[in-house]
Amino acid sequence: MKKKLIILVLGLLSITLIMCLNPFAEHDNVDRDIKKTLVMGVSLDYPPFEFMHLGKPQGFDIDLAYMLANELDFKLEIKDMDFGSLIPALNSKQIDFIISAMSPSPERAKNVDFTKLYYQAKIEILTLDSKDIEAISRFENKKIGVQMGSTMEAYLKKKQAEIPSLEILSIARVPALIEELKIGRIDGVLLDAEIARKIISRNPNLKSGVIEDFIGGNAVVLPLKSELTEAFNYALDNLEKEGKLRSLEQKWIVESKE
């Protein structure tokens, strides 16, 4: 009897240990079946974070997604869509999570969960080399382009309340914004600083300047009150401790500038 009791206790301890080590273990069998394949939504028009190269998704966020899949033991499926469609697709269960250089905001947090930040972001205003960037960055009597549904769009809308003469053009894809800038239909484009610099490297007739009063960063996005939010935070903590987030920044941000 004593021997049976010891075996039972050891068995319970083993189960507890497995659950502690596996962040998905507390979910039921249905959740375990779902997590075998998770569909990630992304807008593949934002290098160096996400873009297509030789017919394959590439970038900081793509590498991060595969690291998370390895860390949490799920198969990753990637679905490309317009940035503004990502949260509606998440809420309608067309996708399971988003990694697409998306920043948390109070408005978005009403409808979705955000993990901890995996990247601290800055934004810059991109304009033609011949333009007065200081005047454009003040936004008065200017028409500024932003990606539809982005944090930059929300930032500009707040600015518009202070500066009624500011006009905003929201477009789904970044390349279309750059074309609008080149042909003179808008005065500038607000972008993540690294994206702006990447675009300038291919377009020497453009220049950029930092927007000092913007504070933000990128996070993984999951359905509101998702049971997986804690697991993704657990995985991001591990990747940070192992220096893998830093290595992604080195690969895609630092080295891409060189």
**Domains and their CATH numbers in the chain:** 34-120+216-257 (3.40.190.10), 123-210 (3.40.190.10)
How far apart (Å, rounded) are the C-alpha atoms in residues 34 and 98? 16
Torsion of CA 144, 150, 152, 155, to 10 degrees: 110
Tens of pLDDT along 101-143? 999 988 899 999 999 999 988 899 999 999 999 999 999 999 9
Report pLDDT for 23: 52
How far apart (Å, rounded) are the C-alpha atoms in residues 126 and 189? 5
Mean pLDDT of the chain: 87
Q: Are 135 and 209 in contact (CB under 8 A)?
A: no
Closest CA to 101 of 195, 176, 227: 195
Distances in Å between the Cα of 84 and the Cα atoms of 12, 146, 163, 173, 205 are 47, 11, 25, 9, 29
Parts of the chain with a pLDDT under 70: 1-35, 256-258
State the residue for tokens 């930092």: 210
* CB-count burial class (<10 Å; 0-12, 13-18, 19+) for 204: exposed
Per-position DSSP letters for 169-201, written without gaps between them:
EEES-HHHHHHHHHTTSSSEEEEEHHHHHHHHH
How open is the CA angle 173-108-59, to the nearest 5 degrees?
45
* CB-count burial class (<10 Å; 0-12, 13-18, 19+) for 116: middle
Say how many residues make up the chain: 258
Torsion of CA 170, 208, 200, 55, to 10 degrees: -40
Specify the pTM: 0.73
Report pLDDT for 13: 44
Using only C-alpha atoms, the chain has a radius of gyration, in whole angstroms, of 22
Peptide bond into 48 cis (omega under 30): yes
Closest CA to 190 of 159, 144, 157: 144
Closest CA to 148 of 190, 202, 210: 190
Record the tokens describing residue 172, joined without a space. Answer: 């789904």
Identity of the amino acid at 70 = N
